[in-house]
Amino acid sequence: MSAPSLEVTGLAYAYPDGHQALYGVDLRISRGERVALLGPNGAGKTTLVLHLNGVHRAGAGHVAVGGLPVEKRNLQEIRRRVGVVFQDPDDQLFMPTVADDVAFGPANFGVTGPALDSRVRGALDAVGMAEHADRSPMHLSGGQRRRVALATVLACDPEILVLDEPSSNLDPVARRELAEVLVGLDRTMLMVTHDLPYALQLCDRAVVLDAGVVVADGPIRELLADDEFLRRHRLELP
């Protein structure tokens, strides 16, 4: 049996000011799963993500990606394996053209020539943006920019995609287009979101964090059908 895409065991973390943000978090994601990471403001979701891509080092516990412990890898290798798509596409788009932005990651990891061209084409095809390859990212719509940001990560062929609030600030059409792209990718995903309907549409499973503790991990449909659970953890369905 292959190693899980992500395995977090007993992860605890306190910020330098002493604030304990995570207490013994366990999370295991198998290859191909799409999991929503839910929880109220301040639950520890961002703190957890910042452990996955190596920004924070665990105070206690372990994180392994594709069976390899994050603690033992260098930052560049971690970033290749854990593809974080940030909430603001501006954090990921800074080159003159869309194709340049998508090539930037794999080129940095040593991919060159026809292999690089093929990565760029494949990633732009996967997000439905191939015909915009030569345009400036600055001239694209918000939804298009978010899909290009996703392509910059896909081009690095990560073990797991981590999506931070993927539906925020998108109009209904762009929301639907992005959802179609994400479903079509057939990738392991961890989606951090407050948008419960979007999570329900895209994920089969939800992990709920509250005050740094995993309070539920199970089928998303069942969790979100429990009104008392939603109220207790300040989660809201529209």
81-116 per-residue burial string, b: 16 or more CB within 10 A, e: under 16: bbbbbbbebeebbeeeebbbbbbbbbeeeebeeeeb
**Residue 15 contacts ligand ATP per CB under 6 A:** yes
For residue 185, report the phi and psi dihedrals to the nearest 5 degrees. -75, -30
Q: Are strands 60-65 and 189-192 parallel, antiparallel or unpaired?
A: unpaired
Could you tell me where the beta strands, DSSP code E, fall in the chain? 6-14, 20-29, 34-38, 60-65, 68-69, 82-85, 160-164, 189-192, 205-210, 213-219
Distance between CA 107 and CA 185 in Å, rounded?
A: 22
Sole window of 14-22, 52-60, 98-106, 129-137 interacting with ligand ATP (rule: CB under 6 A): 14-22
Given 17, 131, 227, 236, the residue binding ligand ATP (CB under 6 A): 17
CB of 198 to ligand ATP, least distance (A): 15
**Residue 236 contacts ligand ATP per CB under 6 A:** no
**Residue 232 contacts ligand ATP per CB under 6 A:** no
Using the minimum distance from each CB to ligand ATP, give the nearer residue, 23 or 229. Answer: 23
- 177 half-sphere exposure, CB direction, 13 A CA radius: 18
CB of 95 to ligand ATP, least distance (A): 28
CB of 196 to ligand ATP, least distance (A): 13
Instruction: Look at the block and give the residue holding tokens 């659970």.
Output: 229
Using the minimum distance from each CB to ligand ATP, give the nearer residue, 47 or 53. Answer: 47
Using the minimum distance from each CB to ligand ATP, give the nearer residue, 21 or 129. Answer: 21
Q: What's the sign of the alpha-carbon dihedral 150, 153, 159, 160?
A: negative
Using the minimum distance from each CB to ligand ATP, give the nearer residue, 8 or 148. Answer: 8
Using the minimum distance from each CB to ligand ATP, give the nearer residue, 29 or 43. Answer: 43
Could you tell me the end-to-end alpha-carbon distance of the chain, in angstroms, rounded to an integer?
40
Site residues for ligand ATP, 35-64, by CB under 6 A, read 39, 41-47
Tell me how many residues contact ligand ATP (CB under 6 A): 12
Using the minimum distance from each CB to ligand ATP, give the nearer residue, 45 or 233. Answer: 45
Distance between CA 162 and CA 215 in Å, rounded?
A: 20
Site residues for ligand ATP, 101-140, by CB under 6 A, read none
Binding-site ranges for ligand ATP (CB under 6 A): 15, 17, 19, 21, 39, 41-47
